[in-house]
Chains A and B, each alone.
Chain A
Amino acid sequence: MLRPLSTIGNYVLLMRRVFTKPQKGRLFWQQLFFEIDQLGLDSIGIVAFISMFMGAVVAIQTAYNIDSPLIPMSMVGFTTRQSVILEFSPTVISLILAGKVGSRIASQIGTMRVTEQIDALEIMGVNSANYLIFPKVVASVLINPVLIVFSMCLGIIGGWGAMMFSRLVSMHDYILGIRYDFEAYTIFYALTKTIFFAFIIATVSGYFGYQTQGGALEVGQASTKAVVISSIVIILFNLVLTQLLLG
């Protein structure tokens, strides 16, 4: 019982050190652009691949499940759009990013810890928590929504591609479905979730990396913990945010 509480306490204390004014603005911007490239642009490939196939599978499964002639086939497009925008892109892609980006952050910072690079920063008088974690948090919060919008587009295109090749639904019906009863609020909901999830991925992974003690084995454990805990927290916040924003 005490261990989770102590972890939360240490996390809050670390975040107090992270969210301070950067010591040198120019270095912060340099780091920020570097992290946007490393954490965001480097993930475009995997996000594109998963989104296309996810959209295609949702469309095929929906088409397969529509037996009744009373349900119009445009429902395939509508369901694909809603599933991709409301859940698959913001949540599933965030979980994928928790694995890819989270493990990268935790192992990078953890390695710096065990090789005394963080001590070297502290000795120089640098706020190492702010210098290492803050640019990653800002980069994730800025770039993840872009990735998610990209994922939504590709998910819907993936569904369209699957319908085109399988001929389960006509293109006219699919496009009619994705345009039917569109509410911009769903995008707002998805992006709000994404920003929360991005914050969780960067801070939780940063925390586990920063607290690493030992050697290579502990860096691996920190990386695994970062992914597992980030994923659990994302799932919990998914429910809470959904209730708050849609309930």
Chain B
Amino acid sequence: MIEARNINKYFGENHVLRDVSCTFHPGKTNLIIGQSGSGKTVLMKCLVGLFEVDNGKVLYDDRNFSAMNINQRKAIRQELGMLFQGAALFDSMNVQENVMFPLNMFTRKTLEEKFDRVNFVLKRVNLENQNKLMPSELSGGMKKRVAIARAIVMNPKYLYCDEPNSGLDPQTSSVIDLLIQELTYEYGITTIVNTHDMNSVLSIGDSIEFIHKGQIWWSGNKEEILHMGNQELNDFVFGTELTKRLRK
């Protein structure tokens, strides 16, 4: 379980996160949604420690991540995986080397064991026999799947996905969403997905935090989100022509 307690984050005079408190449960896909500039990426970066919170704390299964030094954080970081918006694959490495990187860095497995593990996770994301391709040879969806494979290769307890559907067509987006959800259920991972894609919200939103102007504005799930009277939430949810028509 990951908890954010009264997190505040400033960039100069700009108060980006205001007393954000929320809980993300294991075995569920927890979504953070909100408009661009609402603070959801900053919240995610605070949760993983890429930004330091100005006050408040982040707890990983009751372990106070915010109070830890770099070495103590390393232990937790090896329990988490992250899928970045642009996949963030290492350009100089092929698919296999990208996925194997955390194993090379942090484990003492034999080469054979590492190959087995890499092939297993690549098969899990439907990328069998693509080991030798370079990132530049992959499509957007394939890059995301390799990035997911790299994120889960160490059996993480916590999985972060920052805008997993950005730049993908609707069909590929659905494939990535379902893959994230399946992995979450299969391994009981605490998954946090940062998105503003309503298709994702309605298909995988087990738990949803709506962030608006740096504050948690609404919490709920995919069943509740379509029937709320909250003006800001409705503006977000029914912001596209398609959802407006569906609502009518």
Residues on A lying within 8 angstroms of B by beta carbon are: 23-24, 26-27, 111-112, 115-117, 119-120, 122-126
**B140-161: contact bitstring with A at CB < 8 Å (1 yes, 0 no)?**
0000000000000000000010
B51-75 contacts to A (CB < 8 Å): 73-75
**A125:B78 contact, CB within 8 angstroms:** yes
Residues of chain A contacted by B49 (CB below 8 angstroms): 122
Which of B31-39, B101-109, B197-205 contacts its partner?
Answer: B101-109
Q: Which of A24, A111, A116, A126 lies in contact with B84, CB distance below 8 A?
A: A116
- What 6 pairs across the A-B complex have the smallest Cβ distances? A125-B77, A116-B88, A125-B74, A120-B88, A116-B84, A123-B82
In the assembled complex, B187 has its CB within 8 A of some CB on chain A: no
Could you tell me the distance in whole angstroms from the C-beta of A120 to the nearest C-beta in chain B?
A: 4
Most chain B CB within a 10 A radius of its CB, from A24, A119, A124, A126: A124
Chain B residue with the shortest CB-CB distance to A26: B104
Beyond A124-B105, A125-B78, 18 additional pairs, beta carbon < 8 A = A26-B104, A27-B104, A27-B105, A115-B88, A116-B88, A119-B84, A120-B82, A120-B84, A122-B77, A123-B48, A123-B50, A123-B80, A123-B82, A124-B77, A124-B78, A124-B101, A125-B75, A126-B105
Expressed in whole angstroms, the Cα–Cα distance for A19 and B74 within the complex equals 18
**B50:A122 contact, CB within 8 angstroms:** yes
Could you tell me the distance in whole angstroms from the C-beta of B163 to the nearest C-beta in chain A?
A: 11
Expressed in whole angstroms, the Cα–Cα distance for A33 and B92 within the complex equals 15
Could you tell me the distance in whole angstroms from the C-beta of B150 to the nearest C-beta in chain A?
A: 8
Residues on B lying within 8 angstroms of A by beta carbon are: 48-50, 73-75, 77-78, 80-82, 84-86, 88-91, 101-102, 104-106, 160
Chain A residue with the shortest CB-CB distance to B104: A27
Given contacts A116-B84, A117-B88, A117-B90, contact A125 B50 (CB under 8 A): no
Residues of chain B contacted by A126 (CB below 8 angstroms): 105
Q: Can you spell out 11 A-B residue pairs with CB atoms less than 8 angstroms apart?
A: A23-B105, A111-B91, A112-B91, A116-B86, A117-B90, A122-B49, A123-B77, A123-B82, A125-B73, A125-B106, A126-B105
Residues of chain B contacted by A26 (CB below 8 angstroms): 104
**B104:A24 contact, CB within 8 angstroms:** yes
Given contacts A116-B85, A119-B84, contact A124 B50 (CB under 8 A): no
Chain A residue with the shortest CB-CB distance to B154: A124
Residues of chain A contacted by B86 (CB below 8 angstroms): 115-116
Expressed in whole angstroms, the Cα–Cα distance for A139 and B88 within the complex equals 26
Could you tell me the distance in whole angstroms from the C-beta of A13 to the nearest C-beta in chain B?
A: 13
Chain B residue with the shortest CB-CB distance to A125: B77
Could you tell me the distance in whole angstroms from the C-beta of B68 to the nearest C-beta in chain A?
A: 12
Residues of chain A contacted by B106 (CB below 8 angstroms): 124-125
